[in-house]
Amino acid sequence: MTLDEYLKAGREAVEAALEGLVPAGDERPSTIHQAMRHSLFAGGKRIRPLLFLAAAEAIGPVNDEAVEAACSLELVHTYSLVHDDLPALDNDDLRRGRPTAHKAFGEAMAILAGDALLTRAFEVLAGLEGPPDRRIALVRELATAAGTVDGMIGGQVEDLEAEGKPVEEDRLLYIHRSKTGALIRASVRMGGLWAGPSREQLDALDEYGRRIGLAFQIVDDILDVTATSAELGKTAGKDTEQEKATFPALYGLDESRRRAREHHQAALDAAAVFGERGCRLRQIADRVVDRSN
């Protein structure tokens, strides 16, 4: 399979699994389920569950349960987008090319939809078959990545507090490592934990996930400056408008691109331990830094 064929097959498997994991739009109370589905099935790249699956495949075979476990990451990611777009945070009207949840369903329902997606993610992991210690490890990994200490919420707090202030390198790196990078790193680690890695393998996945998470967010920063809203599927130029701490704001575009390539190469080096089984990790790393949206 080419990379595009691999990603398409992976996305289709994730989409099918998500369909069964979230209540139907007409199930009571229908409004909340429609709001959840509005954001969840808006055509995202599904990069986090795909990274989970690629990491698991680097160690051994995957099955339907692996896809279901990977979906927990998309549920948490989508919850974070729903809340991130709210007027109290980034106040955005467009996400993945369609109106944000609060524009379509109102603020109260958007808040509850985000809460429901987050809750469902841990219900999915708790319901997996297999050894209890594996379920516990997956739950812990996801909860830590979504939390306040070096996690997604902590990064969001620093991001909000940095708005309109001079960009400081330490704060910028914390925001990127936590707000976006933590969940991407967890995606890779969780795939490994599901498959049962050796210490060396988990360490390699950790380094790969850390590096590719940073590269992903740096590229996001660059695209916010260089791409259009139509290309991004969300409002372009929002970071500059809100005076956010970004790599281009601190280093400029050329140096930001250099640093993204540096993290990309480090991710490739980390994946080398898996040999041919790590080819998808390496290909996804290439796609992360070469993407246009």
Angle between helices 152-162 and 132-146 (to 10 degrees): 0
Percent of the chain at pLDDT > 90 equals 84
**pLDDT confidence of residue 224:** 87
Residue 98 pairs with which residues in a beta bridge? 95
Structure tokens at 158: 């620093």
Q: Nearest to residue 188, comparing CAs of 208, 172, 214?
A: 208
pLDDT digits (tens, 9 = 90+) for 242-252: 788 899 999 99
Cβ-contact 60, 198 below 8 angstroms: no
- Compute the distance between CA of residue 217 and CA of residue 153 in angstroms, rounded to an integer: 16
Cβ-Cβ contacts under 8 Å for 75 (sequence gap 6 or more): 18, 21, 22, 40, 117, 118, 120, 121, 124
Domain containing 286 equals: 3-290
pLDDT digits (tens, 9 = 90+) for 49-87: 999 999 999 999 999 999 999 999 999 999 999 999 999
Q: Work out the pLDDT band at 232, boundaries 50, 70, 90.
A: low
Q: Work out the pLDDT band at 283, boundaries 50, 70, 90.
A: very high
- What predicted TM-score, i.e. pTM, was given to this entire model? 0.94
Q: Work out the pLDDT band at 230, boundaries 50, 70, 90.
A: low
Q: Work out the pLDDT band at 236, boundaries 50, 70, 90.
A: low
Whichever domain contains 103, its CATH number is 1.10.600.10
**pLDDT confidence of residue 102:** 97
Residue 99 pairs with which residues in a beta bridge? 94
Mean pLDDT of 236-240: 69
Cβ-Cβ contacts under 8 Å for 155 (sequence gap 6 or more): 174, 175, 176, 177, 178, 179, 180, 181, 182
**pLDDT confidence of residue 231:** 61
Sign of torsion, CA 127 131 136 137? negative
**pLDDT confidence of residue 211:** 97
Q: Evaluate if residue 174 carries a pLDDT over 90.
A: yes
**Tally of domains in the chain:** 1
| DSSP 3-state of 85 | coil
